[in-house]
């Protein structure tokens, strides 16, 4: 009962968010809140449509409400025009990803036989189903590009992200002490294997996510963002971010998520002590490694033996788990090399079966799942969209990248590292990638005191509620084309200030 009540009610909750807060805040709260609070492994499975679950329902709700609010002339609009990116590179990556879904189906029309096991062939119907699922997956990316493209929008996202993580940390600490049972108590089921959440004589929390590892990378991203904001903020907000960062660091250190904790330890000094240019260079190098990871694994340029040696010194049990992953990746990679361009498709066709029809491989990392199912077209499409914002930002001049954008780039880099051993990609990850693409499109990308681009409205601009603070972005002036104003205060013809006649906020 609670499962369906939560899923059914989330669009209503999203509507309340959009009524109460500005569009960037409401969008961030809708997607992040849905990811953190809605139940896993349950969905509305409608005919001819992909399942509607905790990932797609918040995204669709936010998309519809963004469209409604952008049409409402009483609401100031501060977003990129249109839903599709303007970047030719991003457009090409979208085409590659979507074309790959059809090519994968067309090249896997034959059934596969492994002893008594028969794997179904891909049907034309599957191409439309996969295409719809891919489009739904990309909605948070497109929303992030549209809504979070301005500096104010990105700061709203950062605020919601950190506040949500701080509140979620309370639930995680409760599960660390009492065992991970909140999902069972609220929704009546446990979303994963119980034994995988018993570690080191204690418990690994997961709250309402699919796995504790997903929770770990969420906290890792929030820690990097909180410390980054603490570095650059001033006054009372600087202290608030420091307290939030310390609280989250304590939580992740007790959560028994070694991989996510290691990502924090590696990237946190980069966030705190290096300049934006060096931060983006490191993020770009990691992005290139991730983008070509299948090639590096295939030619043995990834030091797996060295990583296993270090893991053995730290924890022999974790080293054994890491070796199990590497061994299975080798099997799946050898299988994927047989169809490198478009992959094997679904229905388990990308797995390795013995002569008795038993599957002998386990896929953990997102990279090997995408590469095995969809080949290079799927892999480059997905990881290209995730990494392009970071790579393009690195090519910009240092003064053209503001602090908040650099912080998001480094937090996204942590997510990319985690997607090599794990498959915990989330709407939050896609939002960050889309936000970076939107920032690249935004004119006047890097001025810390940039003025938001607000579309004209024929009604007086009003303050909007944004987490209890007034939205000062609405102070942008409108200048009459003939410099005449009627007695009632209205203008006959007006236009928004452009790049050549913009007046600073501090102007007269």
453 pLDDT exceeds 90? no
Tokens of 324: 């199990």
List, for residues 281-323, the tens digit of each pLDDT value: 999 999 999 999 999 998 889 888 888 888 888 778 778 888 8
Is residue 371 within 8 A of residue 341, CB to CB? The reply is no
| Res 104 pLDDT > 50 | yes
Are 402 and 446 in contact by the 8 Å Cβ rule? The answer is: yes
Pure H helices in 148-234: 151-178, 182-187, 212-232
Question: What per-residue confidence (pLDDT) applies to 491?
Answer: 45
HSE-up of 174 (CA within 13 Å, CB side)? 10
Task: With cut-offs at 50, 70 and 90, classify the pLDDT of residue 198.
Answer: confident
CA distance 20 to 362: 46
Q: Which pLDDT does position 200 carry in this prediction?
A: 78
**Strands, DSSP E only, in 47-206?**
112-114, 117-119, 198-199, 202-203
Nearest to 151 by CA among 454, 360, 435, 376: 435
User: Residue 180 corresponds to which tokens in the numbers above?
Assistant: 């991970």
Tens digits of per-residue pLDDT, 244-294?
Answer: 999 999 999 999 998 899 999 999 999 999 988 899 999 999 999 999 999
How many whole angstroms separate alpha carbon 314 and alpha carbon 19? Answer: 50
pLDDT tens, 1-17? 789 899 999 999 999 99
Q: What is the mean pLDDT of residues 366-375?
A: 94
- Mean pLDDT of all residues in 11-36: 95
What is the separation of C-alpha 137 from the centre of its chain, rounded to a whole number of angstroms? Answer: 10
With bands split at pLDDT 50, 70 and 90, how would you rate the model's confidence at 443? low
pLDDT at 419: 94
- For the residues 414-429, what does the mean pLDDT come to? 93
Render pLDDT for 317-368 as a digit per residue (tens, 0 to 9).
778 888 898 999 999 999 999 999 999 999 999 999 988 889 999 888 999 9
Phi, psi of 493 (to 5 degrees): -140, 140
CA torsion, ordered 217, 410, 66, 13, to nearest 10 deg: 30
Query: What is the pLDDT, as a whole number, of residue 462?
Result: 42
pTM of the predicted protein model: 0.84
pLDDT attached to residue 226? 96
Cβ–Cβ < 8 Å for 197, 206 = yes
| DSSP 8-state symbol, 203 | E
Distance CA 132, CA 464 (A): 35
- Lookup: tokens for 502: 């913009």
Contacts of 104 (CB under 8 A, 6+ apart): 122, 127, 130, 342, 343, 344, 345, 373, 374, 375, 377, 378
Which pLDDT value is given to residue 79? 77
Q: Kindly report the backbone phi and psi dihedral angles of residue 197, in degrees, each rounded to the nearest multiple of 5, phi listed first.
A: -110, 20
SS3 466: strand
Distance CA 428, CA 250 (A): 22
Considering the chain, what is the average pLDDT of its residues?
84
């Amino acid at each position: 009962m609670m499962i369906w009540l939560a899923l059914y009610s989330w669009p209503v909750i999203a509507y309340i968010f959009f009524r109460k807060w500005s569009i960037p805040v409401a969008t961030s709260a809708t997607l992040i809140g849905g990811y953190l609070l809605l139940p896993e492994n349950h969905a509305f499975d409608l005919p001819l449509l992909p399942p509607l679950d905790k990932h797609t329902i918040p995204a669709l709700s936010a998309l519809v409400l963004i469209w409604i609010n952008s049409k409402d002339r009483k609401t100031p609009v501060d977003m990129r025009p249109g839903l599709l990116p303007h970047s030719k590179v991003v457009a090409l990556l979208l085409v590659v990803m979507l074309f790959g879904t059809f090519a994968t189906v067309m090249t896997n029309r034959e059934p596969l036989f492994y002893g008594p096991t028969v794997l179904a062939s891909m049907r034309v119907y599957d191409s439309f189903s996969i295409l719809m699922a891919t489009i739904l997956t990309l909605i948070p990316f497109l929303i992030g590009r549209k809504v979070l493209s301005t500096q104010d929008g990105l700061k709203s996202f950062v605020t919601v992200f950190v506040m949500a993580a701080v509140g979620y940390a309370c639930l995680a600490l409760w599960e660390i002490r009492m065992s991970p049972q909140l999902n069972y108590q609220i929704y009546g089921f446990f979303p994963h294997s119980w034994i995988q959440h018993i570690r080191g004589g204690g418990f690994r929390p997961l709250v309402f996510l699919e796995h504790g590892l997903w929770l770990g990378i969420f906290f890792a991203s929030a820690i990097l963002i909180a410390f980054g904001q603490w570095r650059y903020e001033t006054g009372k907000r600087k202290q608030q971010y420091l307290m939030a960062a310390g609280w989250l660091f304590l939580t992740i250190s007790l959560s028994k998520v070694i991989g996510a904790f290691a990502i924090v330890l590696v990237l946190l000094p980069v966030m705190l002590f290096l300049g934006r240019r060096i931060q983006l260079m490191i993020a770009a190098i990691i992005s290139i490694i991730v983008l070509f990871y299948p090639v590096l694994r295939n030619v043995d340029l990834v030091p797996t033996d060295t990583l296993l040696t270090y893991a053995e010194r730290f924890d022999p049990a974790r080293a054994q788990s890491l070796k199990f992953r590497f061994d299975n990746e080798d099997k799946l990679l050898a299988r994927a090399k047989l169809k490198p361009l478009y992959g094997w498709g679904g229905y388990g066709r990308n797995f390795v079966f013995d002569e008795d029809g038993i599957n002998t491989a386990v896929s953990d990392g997102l990279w090997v799942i995408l590469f095995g199912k969809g080949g290079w077209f799927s892999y480059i499409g997905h990881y290209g969209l995730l990494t392009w914002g970071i790579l393009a930002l690195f090519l910009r001049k240092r003064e053209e990248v503001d602090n908040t954008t650099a912080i998001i780039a480094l937090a996204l880099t942590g997510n990319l590292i985690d997607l090599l051993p794990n498959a915990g990609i989330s709407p939050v990850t896609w939002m960050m990638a889309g936000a970076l693409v939107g920032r690249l499109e935004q004119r006047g990308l890097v001025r810390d005191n940039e003025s938001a681009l607000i579309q004209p409205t024929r009604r007086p601009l009003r303050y909007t509620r944004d987490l209890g603070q007034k939205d000062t972005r609405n102070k942008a002036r409108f200048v009459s084309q003939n410099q005449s104003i009627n007695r009632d205060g209205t203008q006959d013809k007006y236009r928004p200030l452009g790049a050549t006649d913009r007046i600073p906020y501090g102007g007269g």
